[in-house]
Amino acid sequence: MANEFLVARAFSPTNIALAKYWGKRDLNLNLPQNGSLSVTLDGLGSTTQVEFSSQTNEDHFFLNGVEQFAPSALKKVKTVLDILRSRKGISLRARVESQNNFPTGAGLASSASGLSALTLAASAALNLNLSKENLSEIARFGSGSACRSFLGGYVEWKKGEKPDGTDSVAKSVADEKHWPLSVMIIVINEKSKLYPSTDAMELTRETSPYFASWVEFAESQIPHIRKSIIERDFKSLAQLSEENCIKMHASAMAASPPFLYWAPQTLEVMKRVWSLRQKGYRLFFTIDAGPNVVIFSDDPQWDKIQLEFKDFDTIKSRIGEGAKIL
Ligand code: PMV
């Protein structure tokens, strides 16, 4: 196989969960305890190039121009590469170069965009011709949330029932044109998060007295969140998503030892969102595993709402398309 045919590049957007994945039922297969539902963000994500080559004996991974040696980062990349190598029946090592166009590792799902872009680029480099469902299943091994980035719009990751996880894949709820919500990320801290999601989820599962009730609640909420999206019921989606977010964080806060992703400004933004909603504006928030807050709105006065947060650094986006080969 000639080296030059084994290169490809892909862009994958990040996604933000309105119904969170928090807790694994199988650590090795990276299977979730509960289903989750996310929106794909337009233009914010990772551009990744993968080149398989006989010139190297090891996989190399560069993130934003810097070679990564941390075992946790390399493990995720190698896991995905190994699955694809075994599908193709080759053992060539790869050089992976990935660039994020938004803060990395600060609870803005950079692992979702990174691992999905890697899966798509590597499978294209190997000419594997995989379906979105196959890609979703493979990316899930690298990072759970990555399985949702292959599709645009509103995406559900089914918890799945099978022990081998083959039914734990992402499905479209509605595409990006169905309900074009405006999105604004309030960047409170750009630095990498203090508690990596896998460790934090495991600690919550093992020690939080609220974990079992979180899982039950999260599963039971999915059909309602799906319905509010299909019916474009903003009031309902706002309430359900905020409740989901706060309950996920509450389960983590009750772990032993307890931990907290929020910063004082996180609370300031949450309260500002609630106060604007009381005044009749249509907006709600969610927060992933970090201090940053993501605001969603379908309000015709979106410009005015944005001004209310002008004292913060923000990143504007909207609902977008899924991953693509470049
Ligand atoms: O897929 P991971 O390991 O990056 O974990 C994602 C966890 C949350 O972002 C908090 C929730 C989610 O569903 O994306």
φ, ψ of residue 194 in degrees (nearest 5)? -75, -35
pLDDT for the residue 232:
98
Count CB atoms within 10 A of the CB of residue 255. Answer: 21
Mean pLDDT for the stretch of residues 150-173: 95
Torsion of CA 198, 136, 213, 20, to 10 degrees: 80
pTM of the predicted protein model:
0.94
Strands 24-26, 31-32: pairing kind: antiparallel
In this structure, of 109-113, 179-183, 297-301, the range with the lowest mean pLDDT score is 109-113
Query: Per the structure block, which two tokens stand in for 44?
Result: 């914010």
Ligand 1 centroid distance, CA of 225 (Å): 17
Task: Report how far residue 26's alpha carbon sits from residue 147's, in angstroms, rounded to the nearest whole number.
Answer: 16
Ligand 1 centroid distance, CA of 52 (Å): 29
Ligand 1 centroid distance, CA of 45 (Å): 15
Mean pLDDT for the stretch of residues 274-295: 96
pLDDT digits (tens, 9 = 90+) for 216-243: 999 999 999 999 999 999 999 999 999 9
- Is residue 215 predicted with pLDDT exceeding 50? yes
Ligand 1 centroid distance, CA of 46 (Å): 16
Which of 96, 92, 136 has the alpha carbon at shortest distance from 116? 136
- Is residue 4 predicted with pLDDT exceeding 60? no
pLDDT digits (tens, 9 = 90+) for 20-69: 999 999 999 999 999 999 999 999 999 999 999 999 899 999 999 999 99
In this structure, of 137-151, 179-193, 288-302, the range with the lowest mean pLDDT score is 179-193
φ, ψ of residue 189 in degrees (nearest 5)? -150, 120
Mean pLDDT for the stretch of residues 168-176: 96
Identify whether the C-beta of residue 6 lies closer than 8 Å to the C-beta of residue 317: no
Tell me if 35 CB under 6 Å of ligand 1. Answer: no
φ, ψ of residue 274 in degrees (nearest 5)? -65, -40
In this structure, of 24-28, 108-112, 244-248, 291-295, the range with the lowest mean pLDDT score is 108-112
Mean pLDDT for the stretch of residues 103-126: 86
Query: Per the structure block, which two tokens stand in for 146?
Result: 């990555």
* pLDDT band (50, 70, 90) for residue 273: very high
- Is residue 1 predicted with pLDDT exceeding 60? no
Query: Per the structure block, which two tokens stand in for 22?
Result: 């928090």
Tell me if 299 CB under 6 Å of ligand 1. Answer: no
Tell me if 244 CB under 6 Å of ligand 1. Answer: no
pLDDT for the residue 194:
74
Angular region, 105: left φ>0, alpha ψ -120 to 50, beta rest: left
Ligand 1 centroid distance, CA of 159 (Å): 14
- Polymer length in residues for the chain: 326
Task: Report how far residue 38's alpha carbon sits from residue 236's, in angstroms, rounded to the nearest whole number.
Answer: 16
* pLDDT band (50, 70, 90) for residue 145: very high
- For 32-101, the DSSP string reads ESS-EEEEEEEEEEEEEEEEEETT-SS-EEEETTEE---HHHHHHHHHHHHHHHHHHT---EEEEEEEES
To test the pocket of ligand 1, the residue of 20, 195, 222, 260 to mutate (highest count of ligand atoms within 8 Å of its CB) is 20
Work out the percent of the chain whose per-residue pLDDT is above 90: 90
Mean pLDDT score across all residues of the chain: 94
Task: Report how far residue 87's alpha carbon sits from residue 296's, in angstroms, rounded to the nearest whole number.
Answer: 40
Cα angle: 25, vertex 77, 2; to 5 degrees: 135
Query: Per the structure block, which two tokens stand in for 224?
Result: 């309602």
Tell me the sheet residues that pair with 52: 94
Query: Per the structure block, which two tokens stand in for 144?
Result: 């759970």
Count CB atoms within 10 A of the CB of residue 133. Answer: 16
Query: Per the structure block, which two tokens stand in for 181?
Result: 């919500």
pLDDT digits (tens, 9 = 90+) for 197-214: 899 999 999 999 999 999
Task: Report how far residue 21's alpha carbon sits from residue 122's, in angstroms, rounded to the nearest whole number.
Answer: 25
Closest ligand 1 atom to Cα of 144: 1
Question: Cis peptide before 300, with omega less than 30 degrees from 0?
Answer: no
